[in-house]
A and B are shown apart, each in its own frame.
Chain A
Amino acid sequence: MTGTIFVETLRRNWRQILYWGISLALLGWMIAAIVQDVDILKQYEQIAKNFPPALLQLFGAEDAATLTTPEGFITYGFFGYSLLILAVYAVIAGLGVTANEEDAGIMDIVLSLPVPRWRVVLEKLAAYMLIMVAIIAVSFLGLLIGAQMSPVMREVNLMRLVEGTLNMIPSSLLMIAITTFAAAIVRRKNTATGIAAAVIVGSYFVDFLGKSASQSALGGVRAVSFFSYYDPQAVLVNGLNVGHVALLLAITGLLVAGTVWAFQRRDVGV
């Protein structure tokens, strides 16, 4: 019956919304609530000045001065780390679409039922993507509560915080799609995990290298990294970049189509 696999996937995995969502919400709450006056931001800037610029960029801050603004601090402390944490969940979720059941030998039973392969993929993918969105929504609540407890962070435009949170969604969905596509192509769960991790981590370092050497040829290479279209600080200052969002969602759509195509064509492993 249509929707059964979607509902069942949600039923079995809804707790992940609590585990991951509350963890991220605590991070957001802490990062926002900790800044009780601007002096704290200045202290952070002083500490950060002692770090090599590359190290700051590696963890999401453009430079030490970034930390003196509430938007920069939230970007560094919450939106940068959150996406990295969500990358871990995205790989776990992506493997849940086909790889786990195939690896465990359960897929034979699933596909012997009157349900086409494409529907198995799409219903599970939709469930995991919905869970990802819910995790991000829960994390926003923590950030919001923390911001209300801080006189400094209260100054940040609420709409911008919403947009910053929404900005996490396309990249997170893309990471699920990358993992699912890898699992549809290579069949073996460990290989798929390796490929997905390599693409995500590689993309992060390409973005970092591009930022570190923006004046050189490496600066242009950033364009191939999806992290370069994430740019949370710009979103907190200027609002969502619709072009970036559309691009990331389009690539996600292509990878989903590729997953369906690949899984439809190949032998199911045992």
Chain B
Amino acid sequence: MTNHSTPVIQTDNLSKVYRSGNKEVQALNNLNLSVRQGEIFGYLGPNGAGKTTTIRLLLDLIRPTGGSASLFGLDAQRDSVAIHRRIGFLPGELNLWKNLTGTQVIDYVARVRGGVDRKLVNQLSERLDFDASKRVRDYSSGNRRKLGLILALMNQPELLILDEPTNGLDPLVQQTFNDLMREIRAEGRTVFLSSHMLGEVQSICDRVGILRGGQLQAVESVAALRRVDFEYVTIRFRDPVRVDVLAGLPGVTNVTVDGNTVRLCLHGDYNPLLVALRDQYIVDIDTEEPSLEDIFLSYYGNGTNAHKPAETVKEMAS
């Protein structure tokens, strides 16, 4: 196991530029990221944000054009074999040898790894409801994903690197996956998973890194993101509402009116809003915390920082 003070994953100005002819694409730009032991770290971003590039750099499948990465304090490039002994990996697009059966794939990977605990393989197959006797070409994408998860988990890795792990899994198996991830965390092991599915991250991750256009926008704990200082307020009035009373109110944005109902986004305290509405007859007030998706979109939405939590905006500025 890694010393608790040493990050399991550490990147310093990690950058990657893809070159094709005269074209250059900056896939990752000065990534500084630190993942601690025993956490489930969600790496969020839309397609093309640089998530898979980061993972392939960590695994030494591609080489950085700048900066460096270390896992368990070891250099990702120089010490790749020692690192790979301690990790499990599930790629976003899992391709395997189509003519082999699930059992043959598991056996082969186990032999290359120098042997694995067969009992664990059987347990994982059972929990994921996976039939290893079929040929890879005959598996559905969901079953192929299950096989990938077994391959990633069967050596009891200290660090799991999972690229879009639940793509194609049905809800029941997703639940099993979430349970497995929590068990891994409980054992002090670490999970680094990329996703664009916010619900997935919300339910199991401790911290989230948000990536956009190859740049890390923010790193926050899921709990902190949930505590962000804005919420949606829906107010139902008895009579048609005068919107002008809400204009220019501190902390009130995104006001929409639908008949006698007003929906708005409120930052900070309720008092200014309630004072402004004191002459209106209010039938009902409904409040709704922003989902992680709302927070996520607030980072990305049209490039504005309208809903961005103050602390995170500061962090981004620095």
Contact = CB atoms under 8 A, between A and B. Distances in A.
Interface in B52-99: 56, 59-63, 80-82, 84-85, 87, 89, 91, 93-97, 99
Q: Which of B62, B93, B108 neighbours the largest number of chain A CB atoms within 10 Å of its CB?
A: B108
A113 B84 CA distance: 6
Contacts of A266: 63
B61 A267 contact: yes
A105 B151 CA distance: 16
A109 B91 contact: yes
A105 B99 CA distance: 15
B87 A115 contact: no
B21 interface: no
Contacts of B112: 1, 4-5, 110, 113-115
A84 B82 CA distance: 44
B89 A112 contact: yes
Contact of B84 (A5, A112, A265): A112
Given A5-B112, A8-B108, A109-B89, A114 B81 contact: yes
A50 to B, nearest CB: 49
B114 interface: yes
A217 to B, nearest CB: 38
Contacts of B89: 108-109, 112
A116 interface: yes
Contacts of B60: 111
Interface string A123-165: 0000000000000000000000000000000000000000000
Nearest to B99: A12
A104 interface: yes
B108 to A, nearest CB: 6
B4 interface: no
Contacts of B108: 4, 8
Contact of A104 (B63, B80, B87, B95): B95
Contacts of A109: 89, 91, 94-96, 109, 151
B134 interface: no
A113 B113 contact: yes
B59 A111 contact: yes
Contacts of A116: 80-81
B151 to A, nearest CB: 7
A237 interface: no
B314 interface: no
A132 B202 CA distance: 54
A105 B95 contact: yes
B81 A108 contact: no
Contacts of A110: 112
Nearest to B93: A105
B62 A268 contact: yes
A237 to B, nearest CB: 46
Nearest to A111: B61
Contacts of B80: 116
B111 interface: yes
A268 B61 contact: yes
B52 to A, nearest CB: 8
Contact of A106 (B59, B62, B96): B96
A40 interface: no
A270 B93 contact: yes
A111 B111 CA distance: 14
Contacts of B151: 109
Contact of B113 (A104, A111, A114): A114
A106 B97 contact: yes
A16 to B, nearest CB: 14
B174 to A, nearest CB: 22
Nearest to B105: A109
A4, A116, A266 — which one has the most chain B CB atoms within 10 A of its CB?
A: A4
Interface string A95-122: 0000000001111111111111000000
B62 A267 contact: yes
A267 B89 CA distance: 18
Contacts of A104: 95
Contacts of B87: 112
A104 B97 CA distance: 9
14 contacts: A1-B111, A1-B114, A5-B112, A108-B59, A108-B95, A109-B95, A109-B96, A112-B91, A113-B109, A113-B112, A113-B113, A114-B81, A114-B84, A115-B81
Closest 9 CB pairs of A and B: A105-B95, A267-B62, A112-B89, A114-B85, A114-B84, A4-B111, A268-B61, A1-B114, A113-B112
Given A112-B61, A113-B84, 11 more contacts: A12-B97, A104-B95, A105-B95, A109-B91, A109-B96, A110-B112, A112-B59, A114-B81, A114-B84, A114-B112, A270-B56
Interface of A: 1, 4-5, 8, 12, 104-116, 265-268, 270
